[in-house]
Chains A and B, each alone.
Chain A
Amino acid sequence: MSAALEAGREGKGLGGGRVGLLGSVVIGVSCIAPAYTLSGALGPTASAVGDHLPAIFLVGFVPMLLVAVGYRALNTAMPDSGTTFTWSSRAFGPWVGWMGGWGLLAATVLVLSNLAGIAVDFFYLLLAQLTGDAGLADLAASTPVNVATCLVFTALACWISYRGLEATKAVQYVLVALQLVVLVWFCVAAFTRVADGSAPAALAVDPAWFDPTGVGSFSAFAAGVSLSVFVYWGWDVVLTMNEETRGARTTPGRAALATIAVIVVLYLAIALAVLTYAGTGAQGLGLGNPDIQDNVFAALAGPVMGPAAVLMSVAVLTSSAASLQSTFISPARTLLAMGHYGALSPRFARITPRFQSPGYATVAAGVVAAAFYAVMRVLSEDVLWDTITALGMMVCFYYGVTALACVWYFRGTWRGNARGFLTTGLAPGVGGALLLVFFVQTAVDSTDPAYGSGSQLFGVGLVFLLGTGVLVLGVVVMLLQRLRRPGFFRGETLPRGRCEPAATTGASGAAVVPRPVATLPAGTRESARESARETARETARETARESTPEGAPE
């Protein structure tokens, strides 16, 4: 415990001026979890866009960047636990806000089940590599074993998260370093094998791979961008941590640039490495082979890295296991915020005293994710593939909604403020519109039963059911909540609002915008909550506050 205390003194706390540039980059990279995302998304992306993989990784970053700019402005103007849910409720009213929150929830539950699935695959692969018994790796293909292992992993991660344990600075540095080293090793090994002719495809790098216009159809392009949005998911955290970083004025910007540089270079290198090494053929190790697509590193690491492939297993397993644990925090927090604002049952807003974590919401997220994975696994052979594709759609949806919420919320502040217009209007507007277009295109395409892995239900592609069906389910749940908890839907807890032009200060564009004053009379639930949140924030800044001067509790 005293060791934990020491570590805490050094690295924890929102006290400002704590995280330097390197720390920010480490946090950014760990929030992207490159080893895990690449392992899951490389195959589906390659199957959509073929050898234009590098182009898609370059282009896919653009809408993400545009949206992140708006995300940052919203986070500065309305720092709130509900993020997408709160912001789109404020901008567009409760209905859109509710669906935005649902999209975020669905995405995090999807990523939970996908993470758990990847972790299971690599767990058995690692066992096989360590024992030299190749049969162990096949255990992951057995549905009962797979589902049972996955449930154990999910339960463990849920329990850790319930207890409010978080990865510490040292753990994150080790995890990120391991991922980067192993991925670079993989690249070098792949290029070496291409050079000495021992690679199965051994292609030369073709400039056409970098040309996004070469992608066959808009459908393929949209699918590719949806997926690359998923691989960059999490990067924007570097922008929103500005209060915690050392030198808050310059560090977030530099950290964001550095993280972008690290990630884009890494992704391009990996894309080129797998393309030149394996090609996109449908046979053997080719990326077009459906058998290896939903978990590319599991198939390629052995041939590329030789005995060192065990390191890849360790890297992906630790990356997905660590992410699995931290991913529980996301839906739990969103549920907590939605429960808090009366958009869901107040049970979700319960906080466990001993661990100070949203206990009910965490367990609920765990149960839903585990049940979802079990059902999906039975329905679809290629559950990892289909969840990843649906996940890309879901991220496009809720990021798109968030970005447009930014535009709508700040719409009155642009007069004579070019920078504000750029960061809160043009960039998020274009980014959000693009993401929603990609979402719609992918949704339409995925009705085809042959889409994604080719799994289907009632003649409709499983990806469509996952992506669109989940949103329709959200509408149903929302209508039920409307009956039970009309207050939120009447805008009592989160009234619509917009940023007033006078409030904008020119120097930092839209970055500093005071909270809009609640229009409701004093004493309403909203204003009480508003002030309570303000109080909480003040408390965080001050060292101690007295609630009642002397004795005499209220």
Chain B
Amino acid sequence: MSRRYLVAHDGGERGTAALRLGAVLAASLGAELDVVLVVRSDDPFGQPYPPVGDVTGLVAEQARRWLDEALAQLPAGVPARGHLRTAASVPEGLLEAVEELAAAAVVVGATGGANPFGVGPVARALLHSSPVPVVLAPQDGAGPAAPGRLEHLYAAVGTRPGATAVLEEAAEAAERTGLPLHVVSLLEVDARSGAEEPALDRLREVVERTRLRLGDGLVSVELGKGRTMAEAVASIDWEPGGLLLVGSSRLARGRQTFLGPTAARMLRHVPVPVAVVPRGER
């Protein structure tokens, strides 16, 4: 059975961005899509004051139309199914769907609405509790002009120990697809910082192992440095059609994603879509 990616659709811009990225991933990685639209159910404690009818049915009907439109938008070669679900909250419904459909990853539109540098509430909730990788789709127009296929894989490796999970995931993906893997380390260095050398050593060691596994031609190492994360990110040469894999914070419980502060700052500046990978070990 092939891998299934869950695309979180909402009928709006975020959903469209997720859908587009989901199609690219599915075409490139040979996955199938489950497009899921979660309709929030009414909270009985949130009753309107003069009582009126329940519009959940009308919302669901509209949602079904959105879902059908979404499926119609997908390129012909991408196998996809649509699911309309009801849950108390959108992230809750998505997580239930991930479990039920045994999805390998969840793709979600990530823009933060009023806050241009933030991550939307649904994406944030997923980033803090998803058991599978969360792929954040940037808004249309942000990042490289929507490529039809994935061309490059990037794996962000921290300088502290424990970053092997993300590299393994990336190596596995590179192996499967034959895409070039760029191992990236982003350092915020100020004048006093002297942590570079040991960090680099560790990085080299990890990369060597990956290189052994994948063969020489496919792996490259890039070190992004700058006084701020924005500068560090800008110092890397991001290819169009890239996808960056980022590991989850050490604070994550078990096999869940948890967005660490460094990764959160990274997200704001990276021009390619980002996938946050849960920690591998239990």
Contact = CB atoms under 8 A, between A and B. Distances in A.
Query: Are A and B subunits of one complex?
Result: yes
Interface of A: 1-2, 4-5, 8-9, 11-15, 18-19, 23, 26-27, 30-31, 33, 79-83, 86, 104, 107-108, 111, 115, 164, 166-169, 171-172, 233-234, 236-237, 240-241, 244, 323, 326-330, 333-334, 336-337, 340, 349, 351-354, 356, 358, 395, 529, 532-533, 535-537, 539-540, 543-551, 553-554
B88 A8 contact: yes
Nearest to A320: B49
Which 4 residue pairs are nearest across A and B when measured between Cβ atoms? A166-B46, A353-B12, A12-B88, A536-B60
B41 A351 contact: no
Contacts of B91: 1, 5
Contact of B121 (A1, A532, A540): A1
Contacts of A547: 64, 67-68, 71, 81-84
Interface in B76-102: 78-89, 91-92, 96-97, 100-101
Contacts of A543: 85, 96, 100
Nearest to B113: A354
A395 B89 CA distance: 34
A4 to B, nearest CB: 7
A334 B52 contact: yes
Contacts, number: 226
A551 B68 contact: no
Nearest to B97: A544
B50 A330 contact: yes
Contacts of B96: 543
Interface string B52-84: 111111111111101110011010001111111
Interface stretch (B122-130, B134-142, B234-242): B122-130
Given A13-B88, A31-B47, A550 B79 contact: yes
B53 A19 contact: no
Contacts of B88: 8-9, 11-13
B278 interface: no
B: contact size bracket: 35 or more
Contacts of B52: 81, 83, 104, 108, 329-330, 333-334
Nearest to B86: A540
Contacts of A164: 40
Contacts of A115: 49
Nearest to B77: A551
B50 A234 contact: yes
B163 interface: no
Given A1-B91, A23-B44, A539 B50 contact: no
B11 interface: yes
Interface string B144-165: 0000000000000000000000
Contact of A234 (B49, B63, B71, B101): B49
B129 A2 contact: yes
A54 B43 CA distance: 35
A337 B129 contact: no
A28 to B, nearest CB: 9
Contacts of A353: 10-13, 15, 66
B38 to A, nearest CB: 9
A341 to B, nearest CB: 10
A333 B125 CA distance: 28
B47 A27 contact: yes
Contacts of A107: 50
Given A12-B41, A353-B15, A539-B60, A81 B54 contact: yes
B217 interface: no
Given A8-B88, A553-B71, A554-B72, A326 B46 contact: yes
Nearest to B73: A553
Quick one: which of B10, B86, B129 has the most chain A CB within 10 A? B86
17 contacts: A1-B121, A11-B88, A12-B44, A27-B47, A81-B54, A166-B43, A169-B45, A234-B49, A326-B47, A330-B48, A333-B55, A340-B58, A354-B113, A356-B63, A395-B50, A547-B81, A551-B78
B62 A326 contact: no
Given A12-B43, A86-B53, A326-B46, A354 B128 contact: no
A11 B57 contact: no
Contact of B59 (A241, A330, A351, A548): A351
A14 B53 contact: no
Given A8-B88, A168-B43, A539-B86, A1 B128 contact: yes
Contacts of B48: 31, 326-330, 333
Contacts of A537: 57, 60
B228 to A, nearest CB: 27
B261 interface: no
A276 B15 CA distance: 62
B39 interface: yes
Contacts of B51: 31, 83, 234, 236-237, 240, 330
Contacts of A545: 83-84
A108 B53 contact: no
Contacts of A395: 50
A326 B53 contact: no
Contacts of B83: 544-547
Q: Which of A33, A166, A326, A529 is the most central at the interface, judged by chain B CB atoms within 10 Å of its CB? A: A166
A104 B52 CA distance: 9
B14 interface: yes
Contacts of B71: 547-548, 553-554
B48 to A, nearest CB: 4
Nearest to A24: B44
Interface centre among B40, B81, B88, B129 (most CB of A within 10 A): B88
B62 A351 contact: yes
Given A1-B124, A80-B53, A244-B44, A553 B74 contact: yes
A352 B15 CA distance: 13
Given A12-B88, A354-B14, A546 B82 contact: yes
Contacts of B85: 539, 543-544
Given A26-B45, A237-B51, 11 more contacts: A23-B44, A82-B53, A169-B43, A329-B49, A333-B48, A334-B53, A337-B53, A351-B11, A351-B62, A353-B13, A536-B58
A8 B94 CA distance: 14
A328 B47 CA distance: 11
B196 interface: no
Q: Of B15, B47, B50, B64, which is in contact with the most chain A CB atoms at under 10 Å from its CB?
A: B50
A398 B56 CA distance: 23
Contacts of A240: 51
Given A86-B53, A326-B47, A354 B92 contact: no
B45 A23 contact: yes
Nearest to A26: B45
A8 to B, nearest CB: 4
